[in-house]
A and B are shown apart, each in its own frame.
Chain A
């Protein structure tokens, strides 16, 4: 089935550690996105990519990094510079930037 796969579902980070969240899609979508959601809050855009080998910062990019080497994959690294990383991370994709986005099931990141 076509869809977006995020892994792992739960992730724990130690102080000073970088962690990488995986996002893979087989929808042949050009655009991919990463959002952060805190409890009871809306979606905040971290990074987005409209084409392979290109990406743009969203509203809260500090402490995060991404790559887009393949159309299907858009991994997010939460670096040690992100001091409050505990949140629900959502990956999404769309055919173009103006088309509706489809979401993966999310990754919950917590601090040990």
Chain B
């Protein structure tokens, strides 16, 4: 069973600090990774996609991928109260023909004023 694992949290970060969210995956063949944000009572929203090793920046968000260590992380700089949400990591299977992405269970992030 291919897995994507996240710490469920809650992760509490002071406003203005950097929030660091981590995700590990078991399928060495996975080539791309996605981060979703889900506010309470709402549906998940895609916020970042990363397809190669290294960093990808988009505004206050940076996704980092390390294929050798099989982890992907999301950094949120200058955290705002509006960043309080659950963040889901997702990865498609590497080589399986049953091509559907696997979601982690999510990390709940709370930004305290």
Main secondary structure of the interface of B (DSSP, over half): loop
Cβ-based interface call for A101 (8 A): yes
Q: Which of A66-74, A79-87, A102-110 lines the interface with chain B?
A: A102-110
A50 touches B99 (CB 8 A): yes
CB distance from A29 to the nearest CB of B (A): 13
Interface size on A, residues (CB 8 A): 22
Most chain A CB within 10 A, of B98, B100, B104, is at B100
CB contact between B45 and one of A31, A50, A56, A103 (< 8 Å): that residue: A103
At the interface, yes or no: B109 with Cβ under 8 Å from chain A? Answer: no
Contact B106 A42 (CB under 8 A): yes
Assess whether A96 is in contact with B99, with CB atoms less than 8 Å apart. Answer: yes
Pairs A–B under 8 Å by Cβ, sample size 16:
A41-B105, A42-B104, A42-B105, A43-B44, A43-B103, A48-B100, A50-B100, A98-B32, A98-B101, A99-B92, A100-B49, A101-B90, A101-B101, A103-B44, A103-B45, A106-B42
Residues of B within 8 A of A (CB): 32, 34, 42-46, 49, 88, 90, 92-93, 98-101, 103-106
| A interface list, Cβ under 8 A from B | 31, 33, 41-43, 45, 48, 50, 56, 90, 94, 96-106
